[in-house]
Chains A and B, each alone.
Chain A
Amino acid sequence: MKPIVYELIRKDWELNRVAVGAGIVLGILAIGITFFGGTVPAVIGVVCFYSVMGVLGSILPKNIYEERKNQTMAFIMSLPVSAIEYTIAKMISTIGIFLVFWLTLVGVAATMILTRKEIPNGLIPLMLVLSSLILLGFVLICSVGMVKENESWATATVILVNVSYSLGWYLLIRIPEIGRDAFHPKIVWNPILVTTLGVEFTLIAVLLGLTVFLQTRKRDFI
């Protein structure tokens, strides 16, 4: 990674330190609830953590489009950085912050499933498929924010993506091969589960590639 890209990422993490700090504190509290024991605290803890992630998922894209709104874009683009390097730095910093929470959520959920006898291990593949949809949605919001550079577009995408999660999860669960082995005591993978996960991560990669491609075609950056 070029030093200037690293510096831009570091800058974004420093600028978002309040959101990141608050998210970490609230996330830890939510995880703490799950360790009270019993199913009810576990469910409450996961719901709280998911809510923190949902709020962050709505706040963090501002990191992308507020640079233009706050007129700090000219300052950053006057540094020895190309539009592509700027795009890469922005996507890494924003998605990186979100990934910290996403990976924590997935890790905590997996740990809970694996360590509690009353929860079947077969839920892990389903949990991964459903969680990856959240990551895909966040990347979509970031891509639209980056390409359109516009708060209205980003806000509309945030709303659309948040509304679509329930529908997406519902449709995924209705695929027989995805929900079939959820209550199996062991983790069971089948080709449809693997393909669904593959499609989700391929879409994330396509969105990231498309964002960089569309940025290369832009002729005006301010």
Chain B
Amino acid sequence: MTELAIRMQGVCKAYPYFALQQVSLELPKGQVMGLIGPNGAGKSTSIRIMMGLVHQDSGDVEVLGNPMPAAQIATKWETGFASDDMRLYGAMTLEWHLDLMRRIYPTWDEPYAQQLLKRFGLLAEQRIKGISHGQRVKASLLLVLARRPKLLILDEPTTGLDPVARHEILREITSIVTDENRSVLFSSHNTLDIERICDQITFIDRGRIIDSLDKDTYMDRWRRLRLEIPSGASVPALPGVLGIRQTGRIAIVTVNAFQPELPGAYESSGARVQAVETMTLEEIFVANVEKSREEVEA
């Protein structure tokens, strides 16, 4: 049986204007999971539940084998958490923060911390309130990474960063999972970042998990077919077809369970297959969200 870093089962959490509904997901150890969703989808709430910062109304959560929120202290010793809205103490220097971490964590890796300081271009003696957003994010990550956590939970860490800073951070996160016992959960609405570093992908929208699979299977399953159809004919919805958009004699068919036989099946129905295209994660994400919303509204 695969060892799990995170397991959420049927988790619900209700707020006056938002509810997390039956959220279930599993992150195997040694993997990087991308949690993708639009703003207000429930990414941050799910992550806060994983960290024990918010208690679920119902459902089970286990992080590194510890039940949450009951065993949150044990979990936090081994988990690094950073989020877009997390701030450090503005009046204090980065060195003060480093010193706090050194005193708390016996696992603190000082040579690695010094390495990261150089690599991220940070000055330890600088006050936090005097540094840029990008440097602040890097500083937060440094404080988390040098603890050598078994699990890294990052809530939209690349939001608002320039491409160079994003690249530096993503490279560092990727290097973490060269150790197969370390896992990462990475939330973002930037599908490009997720596509670059994640093994597993989970889509969340309006408090529900829409889909959760490994990235390769995802990318293989989704295709877009461009068909030319005889005048007056309509495109049949074959198995695996998620949606059809027809303009005149041209139809765009979006497929979420692509089979190699599908183009042939359309040819047999009288259509001419002009192209079979792979889709980007962003296109898959948008199609998935739209379909899910249609189903909920229906």
Residues of A within 8 A of B (CB): 3-4, 7, 11, 14-15, 70-72, 74-75, 77-82, 219-222
User: Complex Cα distance A77/B76, Å?
Assistant: 9
Besides A75-B86, A80-B76, A220-B54, 6 new A-B residue pairs in contact (Cβ under 8 A), listed by A number: A72-B87, A72-B89, A78-B76, A78-B81, A80-B73, A219-B54
Q: Which residues of B contact A222 (CB under 8 A)?
A: 48, 53-54
Interface residues of B in 62-106 (CB under 8 A from A): 72-74, 76-77, 80-83, 85-92, 96, 100, 103-104
Q: Which residues of A contact B53 (CB under 8 A)?
A: 74, 77-78, 220-222
User: Complex Cα distance A11/B53, Å?
Assistant: 21
Docked-complex contact A80 and B77, CB < 8 angstroms: yes
Residues of B within 8 A of A (CB): 48, 51, 53-55, 72-74, 76-77, 80-83, 85-92, 96, 100, 103-104, 140
Q: Is the interface of B mostly helix, strand, loop or mixed?
A: mixed
CB distance from B146 to the nearest CB of A (A): 14
Docked-complex contact B91 and A15, CB < 8 angstroms: yes
Docked-complex contact B85 and A74, CB < 8 angstroms: yes
User: Complex Cα distance A4/B101, Å?
Assistant: 11
B85: nearest chain-A partner, CB-CB: A71
Q: Which residues of A contact B73 (CB under 8 A)?
A: 80-82
Docked-complex contact B87 and A220, CB < 8 angstroms: no
A85: nearest chain-B partner, CB-CB: B73
21 contacts between A and B (CB under 8 A): A3-B104, A7-B100, A7-B103, A14-B92, A15-B89, A15-B92, A70-B89, A72-B88, A75-B87, A77-B51, A78-B80, A78-B81, A80-B76, A81-B73, A81-B76, A82-B73, A219-B55, A220-B48, A221-B54, A222-B53, A222-B54
Docked-complex contact B72 and A82, CB < 8 angstroms: yes
Docked-complex contact A220 and B96, CB < 8 angstroms: no
Docked-complex contact B87 and A71, CB < 8 angstroms: yes
Q: Which residues of B contact A219 (CB under 8 A)?
A: 54-55
User: Complex Cα distance A199/B53, Å?
Assistant: 36
Q: Which residues of B contact A81 (CB under 8 A)?
A: 73, 76
Docked-complex contact A75 and B55, CB < 8 angstroms: no
Docked-complex contact A79 and B76, CB < 8 angstroms: yes
A78: nearest chain-B partner, CB-CB: B81
Q: Given the known inter-chain contacts A4-B104, A7-B104, please indicate yes or no for A75 contacting B88, CB distance below 8 A.
A: yes
User: Complex Cα distance A78/B83, Å?
Assistant: 10
Q: Which residues of B contact A82 (CB under 8 A)?
A: 72-73
Docked-complex contact B86 and A71, CB < 8 angstroms: yes
A4: nearest chain-B partner, CB-CB: B104
User: Complex Cα distance A168/B74, Å?
Assistant: 47
CB distance from B215 to the nearest CB of A (A): 27
B100: nearest chain-A partner, CB-CB: A11
Interface centre among B53, B55, B91 (most CB of A within 10 A): B53
Q: Which residues of A contact B72 (CB under 8 A)?
A: 82
Docked-complex contact A220 and B89, CB < 8 angstroms: no
CB distance from B84 to the nearest CB of A (A): 10
B57: nearest chain-A partner, CB-CB: A219
User: Complex Cα distance A78/B149, Å?
Assistant: 12
Q: Which residues of A contact B77 (CB under 8 A)?
A: 80
Q: Which residues of B contact A15 (CB under 8 A)?
A: 89, 91-92
User: Complex Cα distance A11/B87, Å?
Assistant: 15
CB distance from A70 to the nearest CB of B (A): 6
User: Complex Cα distance A14/B99, Å?
Assistant: 12
